[in-house]
Structure 1
């Protein structure tokens, strides 16, 4: 089965539902050999020439590479040390326009370890829903939050329908 075995997809759906606070069914789960294929699949499905994808900067270099491969323009969202390398919702809002086809989030963030605060996730979710922009939420480091609990943007109102979660086994197990 190209999307993964039914038992594995069922187990992952249960885990994601439990840890993200949203109902997930196995048909929403796709198992790939690593996280990079998911990045490419999502970006190529949503963006192309003339489109923009907002990517965290600094960030995992594959984000911008995949966006460029799709023919779209990567738009860097600067993460500042004085903000704990978390996304500033106002800075994000300033970048979103009619050509924005995807927002990539990564929290906890690679390479800085920054975590997007709960209130900022609320604002980002409102912006994404208001503007109709999907989110690729790279949550591969979700089990590496040491102060407080991990929070996914997927749990915010309206975001389960427009978020793709990227997660995997490699960073934890």
Structure 2
């Protein structure tokens, strides 16, 4: 047989799934692993999908998705985020935010183009760039600056070959956010360079402290910005696989061209569920956001008290504690934690080299599990300390 694609063969498997799969083989595991809401999709959202099927609405929609849904998306983003997109030719409904990222990369990149991304950052970004024939250029983010993108780092990373930068705030895995003032400092660099910005804003509604901000709020670079969002995280609709991408008309047309050949249209019942989510689902989002905030506050407090330095995340449902003081690598720490205490977390290195010395914990789980999980982590740290006292030569 002929060989497979070298690009695909060289892709690394997801470090998130590795630990989730390991934990699934064990009993009595408390998992802080996969980033998925533990809430079920609110029933009134599900019911609208069921009703649509009973009415025979089971056929293809327009390639871009239901116009009624695109109009609601446009209105929501105008009122909520001061982002302005035409539902007729600037919004495309996709199979989750993941398809939207893939479409943006394939529509923009010619072989050899450079695309900037950050480290640590979501595991799918670098593979998406590589699968489209691009060359990833990495900007390391720092704990001391709360894992923000700085103007100096952006300016230094841009070359004549740079086509785009792929960003994600609020951030998976760090929970870091960018304020309007932070973005304001980036605008002149983006405008002068002419690069695209692909802004994954899937956690926008899970911003806890202050207002969510976006580069799409700046008119001078509006046509350079590609906004990716969806229903998975905020509305607890991960399994419905529904997202959307908003951009200038030319780029939107290019992405729609790819989408019509590989997908045709996003699942019709999921689009009707999304209509209900956009119309009457924001109170559900508010309830879930408040629950996440309470969990965040407890978890960050417990981690810091046990000596694992943890920045307060201002968005998402992740914390990114620093475990370097234990002397273990991220991989060693997480392996031993799940084996010895049955607590599953994701090594920071799953999100890039700069994740070494950290682990990601998702608090999309119950308060009881957070309390019990923290008790087990504390016991694990105590056992490490005891072994170090018994064998001083093991200290790093």
Shorter-chain TM range is: over 0.9
CA displacement at 1:22 relative to structure 2: 3.2
Corresponding residue for residue 9 of structure 1? 70
1:100 aligns with 2:159: no
Cross-structure match for 2:174: 112
Quote the Cα distance in structure 2 between the aligned partners of 1:120 and 1:78.
17
1:31 alignment partner, one of 85, 90, 93: 93
User: Does the 8 A contact of 1:103 with 1:136 survive in 2?
Assistant: yes
Which has the bigger relative contact order, CA under 8 A and spacing at least 6? Answer: 2
Which one of 158, 161, 173 corresponds to residue 220 of structure 2?
A: 158
Give the counterpart of 2:82 among 2, 18, 21: 21
Shift of 1:89: 1.5
Cα displacement (A) at 1:122: 0.8
Distance of 1:101 and 1:141 partners within structure 2: 25
Give the alignment partner of residue 83 of structure 1, picking from 137, 140, 145: 145
Q: How far 1:48 sits from its partner (Å)?
A: 2.4
Cα distance in 2 for partners of 1:100, 1:86 equals: 20
Runs of 4+ residues over 4 Å off in structure 1:
none
Partner of 1:46: 108
Q: Secondary structure at the match of 1:146?
A: coil
1:99-120, Cα deviation, whole Å (9 max, x unpaired): 0001111110111000013222
Q: Are the equivalent residues in 1 in contact too, given 2:179–2:212 (CA < 8 A)?
A: no
Number of residue pairs aligned between Structure 1 and Structure 2: 173
What is residue 134 of structure 2 aligned with on the other side? 72
Cα deviation, residue 126, structure 1: 1.7
1:140-155 to structure 2, matched below 5 A, reads 140-155=202-217
Structure 1: segments with no counterpart, 5+ residues: none
Equivalent residue of 1:30, what SS? strand
Secondary structure of 2:76's aligned partner: helix
State the secondary structure of the residue aligned to 2:116: strand
The TM-score, its normalising length taken from structure 1, stands at: 0.96
* Structure with the larger helix share: 2
Unaligned runs of 5+ in 2: 1-61, 236-396
Give 1:19 shift. 2.1
Does structure 2 conserve the Cα–Cα contact (< 8 Å) formed by 1:125 and 1:157? no
Given the two structures, how large is their TM-score scaled by the length of structure 2? 0.43
* Cα separation, 1, equivalents of 2:79 and 2:189: 25
Deviation at 1:132, TM superposition (A): 0.4
Q: CA RMSD in A?
A: 1.1
